[in-house]
Amino acid sequence: MPLRKLRQFQDAGHIAVLIIGDFTGSIGDPSGRSKTRPQLTDEQIQANMERYKEQVFQILLPERCEFRYNSEWSKPMNGTDIIKLAAKYTVARLIEREDFKKRLAAGDPIHVHELLYPLFQGYDSVAVKADIELGGADQYWNLLVGRELQREFGQEPQVVITMPLLVGLDGTLKMSKSYGNYVAITEAPREMFGKLMSIPDSLIVNYLELCTDQPAPEIAAVKQQLASGANPRDIKAELAKDVIAIYHSRAAADEAAAEFDRVFRDKQLPDDMPEFKIPAAGVNIIDLVVTAGLLPSKTEARRKLLEGAFHLGNERVTDAALLVKVQSPTVLKVGKRRFLRLLP
């Protein structure tokens, strides 16, 4: 959401400065956490940041982007520098944070490094002399620290713009890779389409507002259509196509919609699906879906199997110890959208 807003600033002629938190990532952002966030290693941070840079260019204009690593100004700080920075803020203000207050009330520990995190993040705004800082609604408090530190260092305080947090596919928690309720902007159009069709009807208007470029009057018209009894499925299909067109193309969106109808409405198999050659000795069903890339882990595979999501041919699979052998091409289906053609 903040990146899409930042793109609007780019279109208006501004330069987007993206802070790569390689230093603050090693501390661990406590925002919204009921317990201490794990600290990342340098290798984990570097791998995350490289993936991040690849993905942001699906939204932002590379020629109007500037990347800065906050280790550039934070890592050289010595003990005296950190004490001077800490002297710019009070403990009373730090523990006004809602998540800190809750943890204190519950008797949960708050470590000193977590109290320092907002100061280092706020100092980023000082270092780059930010005019405007954008972030999710859960970053509001951190962004205000940036304003106060800029004032302390004699700079004009930045304008803060926060964006609503997008609710995930489950309709309850914020969209997050950690919660498994997300649509990745790098996913294939068909996967995107299937996921967006699964959102609760109550999120349709919210997704139109936050994830598409539809103008407010058109969204208001959709809201009225839903209130008048319009079929939510049809509106979700148009929403999904709008989102896919942003990250892929309109043609890819139309193709994904047609394939979805063919598989789910007309109950046919996909035109193309990955293939996996089964060894003569067979392969365990859990190992199979993980090795073939249908699911990311054995834990997730076992959970899906217990939910009844596995179908081998026309038979539901419920035995995690099943040894899969096939004598002719057979389709393995996991959930509603994952298919694998098994070959002998």
Residues 251-300: pLDDT tens digits? 999 999 998 888 777 667 676 778 899 998 899 999 999 999 888 889 98
How do the domains of the chain map onto residue ranges?
Answer: 2-163, 189-265, 275-343
Helix/strand/coil for 311: strand
Spatial distance between the Cα atoms of 71 and 75, rounded to a whole number of angstroms: 5
To 10 degrees, what angle do helices 232-247 and 189-197 make?
Answer: 150
Spatial distance between the Cα atoms of 249 and 244, rounded to a whole number of angstroms: 7
Burial of 54 (0-12, 13-18, 19+ CB in 10 A): exposed
- Under CATH, to which class is 2-163 assigned? alpha beta
DSSP letter (8 states) at residue 174: B
Q: Write down the pTM of the prediction.
A: 0.71
The yes or no reply on domain 189-265 and CATH 1.10.240.10 is yes
Spatial distance between the Cα atoms of 282 and 275, rounded to a whole number of angstroms: 15
Residues 121-172: pLDDT tens digits? 999 999 999 999 999 998 898 899 999 999 999 999 999 999 999 999 999 9
Architecture of the structural domain at 275-343 = Roll (3.10)
Q: How many CB atoms lie within 10 A of CB 76?
A: 8
Spatial distance between the Cα atoms of 168 and 173, rounded to a whole number of angstroms: 6
Q: Give yes or no for a contact between 185 and 55, defined as CB atoms under 8 angstroms apart.
A: yes
The number of residues making up the chain comes to 344
344 residues of the chain, pLDDT tens digit each: 999 999 999 999 999 999 988 888 777 655 544 444 566 677 777 777 778 888 899 999 999 999 999 999 999 999 999 999 999 998 888 888 888 888 888 998 888 888 888 899 999 999 999 999 999 998 898 899 999 999 999 999 999 999 999 999 999 999 988 888 999 998 999 999 999 999 999 999 999 999 999 999 999 999 999 999 999 999 999 999 999 999 999 999 999 999 888 877 766 767 677 889 999 889 999 999 999 988 888 998 999 999 888 988 878 898 999 999 988 888 898 987 788 889 88
